[in-house]
């Protein structure tokens, strides 16, 4: 028979230290403590808790030793010496902290053999819990699920107590450890294909007692993006750039770059300012302050709080809907008439409408038919024209460069059509999806990320790499249980994807952060057929006994308002 003991995430063998980058305060712990994430007083810092662990004690048994070792892992980046005390010489020689961080639930069990006669020199105990996530070496946070367990061999120490005889590489943290010491952080890179748009990359960064959070964030920005965006984004910082210093006052933040960048060459100034501004401001660091950028101590650029926001501007919040096959404008409060041309005329057999975003002329609308995809311009003389032929195409989706995309399921080919050239659609390399049952594609408004649904119950997120010439970097976003079906997906903003799911018990609408999998449920009352979104605005087509109606999610994010009672559905925004 074995013994099982359940531990909370924080026990008396540790202490929490609340830090702001300029100092720390020790708080003795007897249980979990939540510390506010605001009010540090330092405009470039963020308060957090640093854990202080103690070494193994002579009177501890195997369970206390394993718990103490896990606490020492939580404190390892700040004090590596404590964890070494838990290891035998053999384990010290082989263990290293590199590799993904394993995150488990706060409540876990330690299963140990029953007490013996005291002569045992070796014991094996098993730590059991629930898997929560993995923090990869590129700082990406990947949610995981399911049961988790790991055995540990302990040997008696000559002076009493136990030591761990072997330890897998990497750190083992609880969810509370991560909440205390890590912060979700948005980094901003440049769209590699268009160079006119920032692309967000979400990571988990560990707070440091030795530097302000602003410097931690900027130093990570100078590194490569996570694997999800490798080959899809670029940066305005030349190789060899480093953060020399970050200083602040009440109204100004001064960032000095050590860089081969020529202070007189301003070709990268706008993009560099944008990367720094959005990375700092969207992590609540230096928000509302003037940002002065220096290069090797010389003035280079100044970014003011009211600077132009075009780097994240999608240039159009116009909403549309479809009534009896005709595309119509939707204002904030009421319909505003049909669109011009053939797209505004009632028509049967057209579905899955998608709207382009045109900066130089009227937008284009695309629709799926039984024979392919047709396109019409929103002009008085606009006519429907089939531009991609095929009987098994996924619904159309537009790229911000004005091109139209679809996946030919019969031939397992990703197709791109450029209306500006009017030539036949071209094939796009997509080796990672060729053997998958692709059911829909949705290109994000950043022009980089692509949501790919496969089968009935899986969503993956990929990226357009190589300057937009290849679809790759596919990573799992969500999988639903068998018997359920994903009925629609829509991009809300660059970070969030709406996923509409039909289950046996009813419908679920989830808003998922594609950077770290954080999921928020949207309450539903009516049965929805489709959704469309742009930033904070979410529209949906709902099924009624009289047909379809158009709904909009209220600002409380809990209730829906009816926009149109009858003959209204298939809402759409440009792109997404």
pLDDT at 419 over 60: yes
DSSP state of 158: T
Q: What percent of the chain has pLDDT over 90?
A: 74
pLDDT in tens, 134-155: 999 999 999 999 999 999 999 9
How much is the pLDDT for 98? 92
pLDDT in tens, 236-290: 999 999 999 999 887 899 999 999 998 888 888 999 999 999 999 888 888 788 9
pLDDT band at 156 (very low <50, low <70, confident <90, very high): very high
pLDDT at 527 over 70: yes
pLDDT at 298 over 60: yes
How much is the pLDDT for 159? 85
| Closest listed residue to residue 368, CA positions, set 341, 395, 345, 346 | 395
pLDDT at 8 over 60: no
Cα atoms in the 13 Å half-sphere on the side-chain side of 127: 30
| Closest listed residue to residue 257, CA positions, set 211, 229, 221 | 221
Beta strand 519-522 with 527-534: parallel, antiparallel or unpaired?
A: unpaired
What average pLDDT score do residues 526-555 get?
Answer: 93
What average pLDDT score do residues 199-221 get?
Answer: 93
pLDDT at 208 over 90: no
pLDDT at 20 over 60: no
Alpha helices in 78-205 (DSSP H): 81-84, 89-94, 175-181
| Closest listed residue to residue 15, CA positions, set 71, 79, 80, 78 | 71
| Closest listed residue to residue 100, CA positions, set 156, 170, 175 | 170
> Worst-scoring range by mean pLDDT, 7-11, 436-440, 497-501?
7-11
How much is the pLDDT for 22? 44
Q: What percent of the chain has pLDDT over 70?
A: 89
How much is the pLDDT for 33? 31
How much is the pLDDT for 211? 85
* Structural contact between residues 233 and 467, judged by C-beta atoms closer than 8 angstroms: no
Query: Thinking of the domain 314-572, which architecture would CATH place it in?
Result: 6 Propeller (2.120)
How much is the pLDDT for 163? 96
pLDDT at 30 over 50: no
How much is the pLDDT for 26? 38
How far is the C-alpha of 480 from the C-alpha of 510, rounded, in Å?
A: 11
Find tokens 């995150």 and name the residue. Answer: 103
pLDDT band at 324 (very low <50, low <70, confident <90, very high): very high
> Worst-scoring range by mean pLDDT, 48-57, 156-165, 411-420?
48-57
Q: Which residues pair with 200 in a beta bridge?
A: 188
**Terminal CA-CA length for the chain:** 57
The H or E element spanning position 257 is: strand 252-258
Domain-by-domain residue ranges, the chain?
A: 3-181, 182-311, 314-572
Look over the chain and give the mean of its residue pLDDT values, rounded to a whole number: 89
* Structural contact between residues 304 and 340, judged by C-beta atoms closer than 8 angstroms: no
pLDDT band at 45 (very low <50, low <70, confident <90, very high): low
pLDDT in tens, 376-393: 999 999 999 999 999 999
């Amino acid at each position: 028979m074995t013994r099982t003991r359940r531990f909370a995430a924080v026990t008396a063998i540790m202490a929490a230290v609340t830090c702001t980058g300029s100092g720390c305060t020790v708080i003795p712990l007897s249980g979990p403590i939540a510390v506010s994430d605001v009010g540090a007083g330092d405009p470039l810092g963020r308060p957090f808790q640093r854990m202080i662990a103690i070494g193994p004690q002579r009177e501890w048994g195997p369970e206390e030793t394993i718990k103490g070792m896990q606490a020492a892992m939580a404190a390892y980046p700040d004090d590596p010496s404590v964890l070494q005390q838990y290891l035998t010489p053999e384990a010290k020689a082989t263990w290293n902290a590199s590799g993904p961080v394993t995150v488990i639930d706060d409540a876990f069990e330690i299963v140990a053999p029953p007490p013996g006669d005291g002569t045992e020199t070796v014991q094996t105990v098993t730590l059991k819990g629930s898997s929560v996530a993995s923090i990869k070496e590129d700082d990406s946070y990947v949610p995981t699920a399911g049961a988790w367990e790991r055995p540990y061999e302990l040997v008696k120490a000559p002076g009493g107590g136990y030591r761990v005889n072997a330890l897998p590489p990497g750190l083992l943290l609880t969810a509370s450890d991560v909440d205390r010491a890590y912060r979700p952080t948005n980094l901003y890179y440049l769209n590699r294909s268009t160079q006119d748009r920032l692309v967000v990359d979400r990571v988990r960064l560990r707070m440091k007692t030795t530097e302000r959070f602003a410097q931690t964030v900027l130093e990570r920005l100078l590194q490569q993006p996570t694997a999800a965006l490798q080959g899809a984004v670029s940066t305005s910082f030349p190789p060899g750039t480093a953060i020399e210093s970050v200083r602040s006052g009440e109204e100004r933040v001064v960032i000095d770059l050590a860089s081969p960048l020529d202070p007189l060459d301003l070709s990268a100034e706008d993009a560099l300012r944008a990367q720094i501004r959005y990375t700092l401001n969207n992590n609540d660091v230096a928000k509302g302050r003037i940002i002065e950028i220096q290069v090797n101590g010389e003035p280079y650029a100044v970014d003011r709080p009211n600077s132009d926001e075009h780097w994240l501007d999608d240039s159009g919040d116009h909403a549309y809907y479809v009534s009896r096959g005709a595309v119509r404008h939707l204002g904030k409060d009421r319909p505003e008439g049909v669109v011009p041309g053939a797209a505004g005329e009632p028509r049967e057999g057209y579905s899955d409408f998608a709207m382009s975003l045109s900066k130089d002329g009227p937008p284009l609308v695309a629709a799926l038919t039984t024979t392919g995809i047709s396109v019409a311009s929103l002009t008085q003389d606009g006519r429907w024209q089939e531009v991609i032929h095929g009987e098994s195409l996924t619904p159309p989706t537009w790229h911000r460069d004005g091109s139209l995309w679809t996946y030919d399921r019969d031939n397992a080919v990703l197709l791109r059509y450029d209306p500006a050239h009017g030539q036949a659609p071209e094939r796009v390399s997509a080796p990672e999806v060729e053997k998958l049952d692709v059911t829909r594609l949705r290109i994000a408004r950043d022009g980089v990320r692509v949501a790919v649904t496969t089968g009935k119950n899986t969503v993956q997120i990929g990226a357009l790499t190589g300057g937009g010439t290849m679809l790759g970097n596919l990573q799992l976003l969500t999988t639903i249980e068998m018997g359920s079906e994903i009925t629609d997906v829509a991009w809300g903003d660059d970070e969030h994807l709406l996923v509409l799911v039909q289950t046996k018990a009813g419908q679920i609408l989830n808003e998922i952060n594609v950077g770290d999998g954080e999921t928020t449920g949207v309450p539903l009352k009516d049965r929805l057929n489709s959704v469309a979104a742009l930033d904070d605005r979410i529209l949906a087509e709902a099924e009624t006994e009289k047909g379809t109606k158009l709904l909009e999610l209220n600002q409380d994010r809990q209730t829906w308002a009816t926009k149109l009672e009858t003959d209204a559905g298939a809402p759409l925004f440009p792109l997404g």
